[in-house]
Amino acid sequence: MVSFILLAAGKGSRVEQKMPKQYVSIAGKPLLLHVLDKLTKIQEIDQLIICCELEYSGLIDTMIANHYPGLAYELIEGGATRQQSVWHGLQVCKNETVVIHEAARPFVRTKDFLRLIQDEMPNVIYGADIPFTVLKGKEFVEDVLKRDELVNVQLPQKFVTSRLKEAYKKALANKQEFTEDAGLFYTYCEAEKIKVLKGLQYNIKVTYPIDFLVGEVIYREYIVGREE
């Protein structure tokens, strides 16, 4: 069995909406509910932890009561950063395995979650090939990176809970911030292997206003009738 941390505490200011993007709809349904639709079908998840801003906890409670009556879940106050939110969620994890996902990635299918959860390796992520050239540098080019050696990191991600906690403690002690957990885990648990599953083309992260338009197409072409 696994503990599942669902990150829903971001403000999502770049999407230019009146409220955080996880509560904004694509195809008539808030992003958060797109994710919960899949999670409620997965028997291996016996602890659902939702990290959120407390001012929206009532909205989440109402959404879940209306759509998934009887669903067991825990609302945890998110932190000022993504990393802090995960750390808060880790404090209440009760299982040896934890899966981390974010409400801003609404199109992962049930079978994609199951593939990750059921993989025999204990630490697993999704990673997509990079189809474009990547250079190092901002104002000036400093280096040419080989795209066939790089991977576009996606969520969900799965880890051994105790080892991820240890890695987080070290990162916090060093005051080092990461934008996702595989990088943090690798930095502080380098001896542990992290398996990379082939990434999903439809697994976009809703970040900018145009992503809501793209999301409508993805939902219509990749998700409707093929959720499993």
**Per-residue confidence (pLDDT) for residue 14, from 0 to 100:** 54
Query: What pLDDT is stored for residue 155 in this prediction?
Result: 98
Buried b (16+ CB within 10 A) or exposed e, 68-104: beeeebebbebeeebbbbbbbbbeebeeebbbbbbbb
The DSSP bridge partners found for residue 101 are 6
pLDDT tens, the chain, 228 aa long: 999 999 999 765 555 567 889 999 999 999 999 999 999 999 999 999 999 999 999 999 999 999 999 999 999 999 999 999 999 999 999 999 999 999 999 999 999 999 999 999 999 999 999 988 989 999 999 999 999 999 999 999 999 999 999 999 999 999 999 999 999 999 999 889 999 999 999 999 999 999 999 999 999 988 876 665
Angle at 30 between CA 2 and CA 26, to 5 degrees: 120
- For position 19, what pLDDT does the model report? 82
Q: Where are the domains of the chain?
A: 2-125+152-223
Task: Name 140's Cβ contacts closer than 8 Å, sequence gap at least 6.
Answer: none
Distances (CA, A) of 109 to 10, 153, 189, 217: 22, 17, 29, 16
2-125+152-223 CATH, one of 3.30.70.20, 3.90.550.10, 3.40.190.80, 1.10.357.10: 3.90.550.10
What backbone torsions phi and psi does residue 88 show, to the nearest 5 degrees?
-60, -45
Q: Report the pLDDT value the prediction gives residue 221, as an integer from 0 to 100.
A: 87
Residue 38 burial (10 A CB sphere; 0-12, 13-18, 19+): buried
How far is 171 from 188, CA to CA, in rounded Å?
Answer: 8
What pLDDT shows up at residue 225? Answer: 65
In one letter, which amino acid is 35?
Answer: V
